[in-house]
Amino acid sequence: MKIKGIRIYPRQLGDHECPHCGQRLERRPRRLWQKAVSFVLPLRHYECDGCSRRFFAFSPRWNSMSIIEKSLRVLATAAVILAVIVISIRILITGILILSGY
Ligand SMILES: [Zn+2]
């Protein structure tokens, strides 16, 4: 999977090794949205010193979860994203109503 040049590996990486060049990987600090996502989906952000590729991979915690917990976490992520969209639209509509004098 590839989103905006950042690869996401839907599996755990063995021994923190780069899947491209085999170099040892360091975990990188995550941005706020990445932390929000990883609250429900345990993704880790890696950057390779060897080939400077950046990507995400699931943490080892993911593999030890049951399928029910995985589903719940995916659903929770979808619910949070939906809530953010609905709230944004509501704020937008309220703003338009105020501007148009209702
Ligand atoms: Zn690499």
pLDDT for the residue numbered 4: 62
pLDDT at 69: 87
**What phi and psi values does residue 80 have, to the nearest 5 degrees?**
-65, -45
In which domain, by residue range, is 79 found?
65-102
d(CA 27, CA 1): 19
Total domains in the chain come to: 2
Q: Return the biggest CA–CA distance within the chain.
A: 62
Distance from the CA of 23 to the center of ligand 1, in angstroms? 5
- 44: CA distance to ligand 1 center in Å? 16
Q: pLDDT means per 10 residues in the chain (102 residues)?
A: 65 70 76 72 79 79 82 86 93 92 74
Same domain, 57 and 102: no
Question: What SS3 state is found at 83?
Answer: helix
Q: Cβ(12)–Cβ(38) under 8 Å?
A: no
Q: Does residue 78 share a domain with residue 35?
A: no
Q: Where are the beta strands (DSSP E) in 16-85?
A: 25-27, 43-48, 54-58
